[in-house]
Chains A and B, each alone.
Chain A
Amino acid sequence: MIRWFARTGWRHLIGVLAVVVAIFPLVFVLSASLNPSGTLTGSNELFSDTTDAHYRELFDDPLHPFGRWFLNSMAVGLATAIGSVFLGACAGYAFSRFRFRGRGAGLTTLLLVQMFPQLLAYVALFLLLSSFDDVFPAIGLGSRLGLVMIYLGGALGVNTYLMKGFFDTVPRDLDEAARIDGASHAQVFFRIVLPLVAPVLAVVALLSFVATLNDFVIASLVLNDPDKQTLAVGLYHFISYGVGRNWGVFAAGVLIAALPVLVLFQFLQRFIVGGLTAGAVKN
């Protein structure tokens, strides 16, 4: 018993502790989503009274096309995740493997631009998108593609850094060897280096997916048609200041919205963890 604890038991202890800390506020939200009163903080007796009314309301009300919001969020989130992985990996690879003029300055600039306080960005972005409207309505106001573009433009800095850091941990001997075997820089990138950092790609993809799903400010600026809105924007109406605040429906919606992240995480865990890297090195 003591040996079990010393070897793995303590890991379980820490794991359980972390899980409790992580989910206890969420249990509270789950309780609120089932509580008929529609308040979030008014009741401390968890699960004292339950109803599925809030969940039904989510799907019944034509003014709140929850299903559409869900699909929009998935589409925008996946496009952003895939796009930012690709852009970040390309840029990170360039900074990690090539030596070119302006490399150091470019890296610093990337990071600095990222640090600009975004609090005021919405006015500038609105003007930008409204000027696109006349020429490229597909990426103008109200367009989901336009929203993805904004996210991709904003994702480069952090992702590039993250990716560059990981590319740096991949021994250069590997790609040098491939080069000598006659592979082009693109082949080295796609066939040797990218598979090696698959865990990071999965992490970055998940990070951008979640960040996209949670973004409310920019999404509500761009998407003004209820049918095109994302979950965060749509659900926020339930609790925005003023009348008709309905925390119950909101909590129900947020919990459902968190499901895809969990599923995606389950799926990506295989890439993040689990022996892939060991095999890839021998490739």
Chain B
Amino acid sequence: MTQIPPTQPPHTPPGRRPTADPGHPPARRGLVGLAVRIVLLAVVDALAVYGLLALAAQHKWAMFGALLVGTVAVNVIYAGKRHVPAKYLAPGVVLLLVYQVYVVFYTGFAAFTNYGDGHNSDKPDAVAAILAHSETRVPDSPVRPATVVARGDRVGLLVTLPDRGVRLGWAGHPLEPVADPVYDSAGRAIAAPGWHRLSYAQIASRQKEISELRVPASEDPNSGSLRTADGISAAAYRSTLDYDRGADTITDRGTGKVYRPTSDGVFAADDGTRLSPGWKVFVGLDNFETILTDRDIRGPFLGVLVWTFVFAGISVAVPFAIGLVLAAVLDGKRLRGHRIYRSLIMLPYAFPAFLAALVWQGLLNTDYGYVNVSLLDGAHIAWLTDPWLARLSVLAVNVWISFPYMFLICTGALQAIPAEVTEAARIDGAGRGQILRHVKLPLLLTAVTPMLIATFAFNFNNFNVIYMLTGGGPKDPDAPIEVGSTDLLISLVYKLAFGGSNRQYGMACAVSILIFVVVAAISVVGLRRSRAFEES
């Protein structure tokens, strides 16, 4: 079943009243604001009450608690005049908690499990799958026309035998002949005294019950049980495995071998044979231990880490520089056609990045790509298959993908610098270049530094560009594991966790957490240095 880590209430800290607030807003505006606030709060509360009732009815107490705490917090924040910063933060924080923090928590939780191929669901699902897999049709038993019939709450199967005999049975009650069956025009029994045929819609509404119905074929358990898969035919099946719910063991009917659940989430016999599938269990720090001690991972790790930093660094610095230069150059209002330039330069940004990478993969093809064939007049430069050229190409393409974004940000940032600031500098006798360097640039950097750090973090994990363009390759054929020259840490993780014969989701989560810790630590240091927290 779905497990939801306890969602935290929005923990917005209590705010201090801003000192400059005299607290005497014009009366009319205050009333309108108050009315809007009341209406919105009422709507929110109405929805919340509906949600709480629905959740309580379905016994989803974790979600119930989260919603209750959230609703109370929202009411506390918006009902009174205090908590001013919280009023601004609450909407975003609620969404952040639900959709982002939850993901982080879930990943953290999965990192301690063996979630992955073969351990894909919970134990009841695994038992059901094992038993379904072990149920086989009794050899030489025919598939017979059958009708699903009901008497009161009980469903049964009405089976028409080839020799025109008709039999009826239900759960725990073996088939026995029926005295006066009703036939349809095709000679198929459709009802028996006391039993009526279920319509298709009725079958549809009782599907689970009907698909779990097992009617003993006879008193002899070896003759198997009849079941219907499609609601119109039935055949006899025999199961080779039995599940004992009390003892929590599975027993092989033929050999008597007993399978018991193990701590790693499978049923295993004493001789080591295992039943598939298994289920998800907590494995503690196993995943982290594997990562930190695995030779295959530690070996290429350092090289990949260095390349990841280089890639992320250049992917921020170069597009930013280009974007800044372009924004400054095209800034002049006197420049004719500046709008057209801007629109055209924006074009790559309007283009999905994954497609851009695929197009570039084609353009950079060694023997058939447009770059070699047409632009370079038939050269055979291995843009994507030579290790160093591949690194260069990946960077170049990523610069192409991201410079319009930087251009846009820089344009916005330059424009947002209040005219009075530059005006003042001009009055003081500063030239255009001086204003740009000493007035605009520092302000611009203040504005965009946090964004640059976020872009760095994004590129640190920029799986898509690498995956679409080179797949991490070219691979060194002598390397023990599948790691290529352009692999980033994140694509290495992907290959490690999903490149084996089993996809190991829990393991991937564990590596993600480790990468997260690395990026987070670097970013915090970077932020401190960039003085982004400087109180202005």
Q: CB atoms of A and B under 8 A apart anywhere in the complex?
A: yes
A-B interface, 3 closest residue pairs, ranked by CB to CB distance from nearest? A153-B99, A41-B362, A203-B412
Q: Decide: A158 and B362 in contact? CB cutoff 8 A.
A: no
> Are the C-beta atoms of B416 and A117 separated by less than 8 Å?
no
- Of B26-34, B172-180, B233-241, B264-272, the one contacting chain A is B26-34
Of the listed stretches B134-142, B218-226, B344-352, B469-477, chain A binds B344-352
B3, B55, B349, B352, most chain A CB atoms within 10 A: B352
Interface positions of B (Cβ within 8 A of A): 2-4, 11, 13-16, 18, 20-22, 24-26, 29-30, 33, 51, 54-55, 58, 60, 63, 84-86, 88-89, 91-93, 95-96, 98-104, 106-107, 110, 322, 325-326, 329-330, 332-339, 341-356, 358-363, 365, 368-370, 373-374, 400, 404-405, 408-409, 411-413, 415-421, 443, 446-451, 453-454, 457, 460-461, 463, 490, 493-494, 505, 508-509, 512, 515-516, 519-520, 523-524, 527, 532-533, 535-536
Given contacts A14-B329, A135-B55, A258-B350, contact A277 B21 (CB under 8 A): no
Report yes or no: A207 in contact with B88, Cβ–Cβ below 8 A.
no
Contact residues in B for A41 (Cβ distance below 8 Å): 361-363, 365, 368-369
A22 and B345 form a contact (CB under 8 A): yes
Residue on B nearest A10 in the bound complex, by CB: B329
Q: A18-B341, A156-B96 are in contact. Are A131 and B2 (CB under 8 A)?
A: yes
Give per-residue flags for A174-194: 1 if the beta carbon is below 8 A from chain B beta carbons, else 0. Answer: 001001101111110100000
CB contacts (< 8 Å) of A22 on chain B: these are 344-348, 400, 404
State which of B336, B344, B519 has its C-beta within 8 Å of the C-beta of A115: B519
User: Quick check: B527 and A108 within 8 Å, CB to CB?
Assistant: yes
- Per-residue CB contact flags for chain A residues 132-157 toward chain B (1 = under 8 Å, else 0) read 00111000000000000110111011
Q: Do B20 and A179 touch across chains, with their CB atoms under 8 A apart?
A: yes
Q: Does A223 contact B (CB under 8 A)?
A: no
Residue pair B418, A111 in contact (C-beta under 8 Å): no
On whether A101 and B14 interact (CB within 8 A), knowing A88-B92, A166-B447, the answer reads yes
- Chain A residues whose CB sits within 8 angstroms of the CB of B100 once the complex forms: 113-114, 116, 153-154, 156-157
Q: Which of B4, B16, B355, B374 has the most CB of A within 10 A?
A: B355
Question: Chain A residues near B453 (CB, 8 Å)?
Answer: 111
Question: Which residues of chain A from 3 to 26 have a CB within 8 Å of any chain B CB?
Answer: 8, 10-12, 14-15, 18-19, 21-23, 25-26
CB distance from B46 to the nearest CB of A (A): 13
- A244 CB within 8 Å of chain B: no
Contact yes or no, B29 A98, CB < 8 A: no
Closest B residue to A128 using CB positions = B102
CA of A100 to CA of B516, assembled, Å: 28
CB pair A269–B418 under 8 Å, yes or no, is: no
Q: Report whether over half of chain A's contact residues are helix, strand or loop; otherwise say mixed.
A: helix
Cβ A128 vs Cβ B4 within 8 A = yes
- Whether a CB of chain B sits under 8 angstroms from the CB of A199 is yes
Q: List 20 A-B contacts (CB under 8 A).
A: A18-B322, A18-B345, A22-B400, A98-B18, A98-B88, A101-B13, A103-B13, A111-B523, A113-B100, A115-B523, A119-B461, A123-B505, A154-B100, A157-B96, A161-B450, A168-B447, A169-B416, A182-B24, A182-B25, A258-B350
Asked if A197 is at the interface (CB within 8 A of a chain B CB), the reply is yes
Whether the pair A184, B350 counts as a contact (CB closer than 8 A) is: no
A73 to nearest B CB, angstroms?
A: 11
Given A111-B527, A114-B454, A169-B418: A15 in contact with B341 (beta carbons within 8 A): yes
Check A278–B419 contact: CB distance below 8 A: yes
Q: How far is the CA of A91 from the CA of B106 in the complex (A)?
A: 25
Evaluate contact between A179 and B21: CB separation under 8 angstroms: yes
Separation of A156 and B29 alpha carbons in the complex (Å): 29
**Is the Cβ of B416 less than 8 Å from the Cβ of A166?**
yes
